[in-house]
Amino acid sequence: MKKVSLFVLAASFTLVACNAPEGDKAVTTDTQDVAQATGVEFAIDTTSSLVWTGSKPTGSHTGNLMIKDGMLTVTGEAVSAGSFTIDINSLTNHDLSEDDGKSKLIGHLKSADFFDVEKYPTAKFEITGVTPHTADSTAVLKDANFLISGNLQLKDSTKNVTFPAKITMEGNTLKATADFNIDRTQWGMNYKGPNNPQDWVISKEVNLKVNVNASKKG
């Protein structure tokens, strides 16, 4: 019986690993000092969003989270500081119909099992550093030109994450995109607790595709 249990457990981990969403892996560390805003300000507009993807052995789900507001500061030709707020209540799902359980999934993700939106209706990202970057052949975002580091606050936890991004500026418009994975358990997001077998078969890796549009103030 013990051998069978170990085999099932190993198989579950293998299946989860195989179904982890594709994305550049973010580096997660402790919180860092927030970058000081000195430069030209760009207001992030409400068309900005995050596309999330979570997976399990039987498939995956994807949806949107809207960026509520935010600001980026540009010094010279590069982003140097900034922050934005994510509206967790805006969470949607793209791949299910109502008959397939769309509302049930959204309600589950908003519940205390995951985001707990009644207590934590928003999340926040604050830039701590931006450095030039050249993507290598293994990168998912092949044309990334910067590494962005920032403190990501989800629920009652804050961690610093570093990920590649593509940032372009044209006239008074700035666009930033990224495609990376974070480990949800780093922010205490565990289904029924970190040691519950029902949580083990959900991939720890969650993919975030960030699309930020901003316009120069004034």
Overall number of domains in the chain: 1
Which residue segment(s) compose the domain that 55 sits in?
2-216
* The pLDDT value given to residue 115: 93
Q: What is the CATH number of the domain that holds 90?
A: 2.40.128.110
Give backbone dihedrals phi and psi of 192, rounded to 5 degrees, phi first.
60, 30
pTM for the model stands at 0.87
Question: Rounded to whole angstroms, how far apart are CA atoms 11 and 23?
Answer: 23
Question: Rounded to whole angstroms, how far apart are CA atoms 206 and 212?
Answer: 19
Residue 19: band (very low, low, confident or very high) from pLDDT cuts 50, 70, 90: low
pLDDT in tens, 104-139: 999 989 998 889 999 999 999 999 999 999 999 999
DSSP secondary-structure letter at 99?
Answer: G
Measured torsion, CA atoms of residues 206, 13, 141, 177, in degrees rounded to the nearest 10: 0
